């Protein structure tokens, strides 16, 4: 078995052979996804620190979501990120203290609040995302643009499939 726990060790033998889990393409997928996710976690921490030195790694995705979707209720954010209300409240409080988000009354329901990026939050998150895309462009400069589009399409399909 490989050092990282991948590579088709004994644990996969209990699955029926017809299910495809022992097929080389699924073994390769598991291995590559493990590497991708490990790198993504490390990069998320770096990007969070670029936004603000005191920003928790896990809060970076929350800021990106607000940047892409605009104001959201805390319950919507918690559901999207996959955390409980207490965790979301703690993260939002920390983001407010850093000046990256603000709460404002929800125009559709005066009892509820929307969380939005502040101007400072928009500027910082935008700068980090621009830099990340520039790194992708440099690292994939020898790829054909159609290949980059195809990779993005396939990752989108994978993400949609994982939601089911």
Residue 5 confidence (pLDDT)? 42
Backbone angles phi, psi at 106, to 5 degrees: -75, 120
- Domains in the chain and their CATH numbers? 32-160 (1.10.10.10)
Give the separation between CA 115 and CA 52, rounded to whole angstroms: 18
Angle at 163 between CA 9 and CA 152, to 5 degrees: 85
User: Helix or strand or coil: residue 104?
Assistant: strand
Residue 4 confidence (pLDDT)? 42
Residue 100: pLDDT band (50, 70, 90) is very high
Tens digits of residue pLDDT in 51-62: 999 999 889 999
Residue 18 confidence (pLDDT)? 56
- Residues 6 or more apart in contact with residue 18 via CB below 8 angstroms: none
* Structure tokens given for 52: 């603000």
Bigger pLDDT: 120 vs 164: 120
8 A C-beta contact, residue 106 and residue 56: no
Instruction: Report whether pLDDT(147) > 80.
Output: yes
Instruction: Report whether pLDDT(83) > 80.
Output: yes
Residue 151: pLDDT band (50, 70, 90) is very high
Query: Mean of the per-residue pLDDT values for the chain?
Result: 87
Tens digits of residue pLDDT in 4-32: 444 444 344 444 455 677 889 999 999 99
Residue 146: pLDDT band (50, 70, 90) is very high
pTM: 0.75
Q: Is 95 exposed, middle or buried (0-12, 13-18, 19+ CB in 10 A)?
A: buried
In sequence order, what are the beta bridge partners of 106? 109
């Amino acid at each position: 078995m490989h050092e990282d726990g991948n590579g088709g060790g004994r644990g996969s033998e209990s699955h029926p052979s017809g299910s495809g889990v022992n097929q080389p393409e699924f073994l390769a997928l598991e291995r590559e996804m493990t590497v991708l996710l490990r790198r993504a976690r490390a990069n998320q921490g770096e990007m969070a620190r670029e936004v603000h030195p005191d920003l928790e790694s896990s809060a970076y995705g929350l800021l990106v979501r607000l940047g892409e979707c605009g104001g959201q209720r805390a319950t919507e954010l918690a559901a999207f990120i996959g955390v409980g209300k207490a965790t979301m409240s703690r993260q939002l409080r920390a983001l407010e203290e850093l000046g990256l988000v603000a709460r404002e009354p929800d125009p559709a329901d005066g009892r509820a609040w929307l969380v939005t990026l502040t101007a400072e939050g928009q500027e910082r998150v935008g700068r980090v995302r621009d830099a990340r895309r520039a790194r992708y462009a440099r690292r994939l400069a020898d790829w054909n643009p159609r290949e980059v589009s195809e990779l993005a399409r396939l990752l989108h399909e994978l993400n949609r499939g994982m939601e089911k």
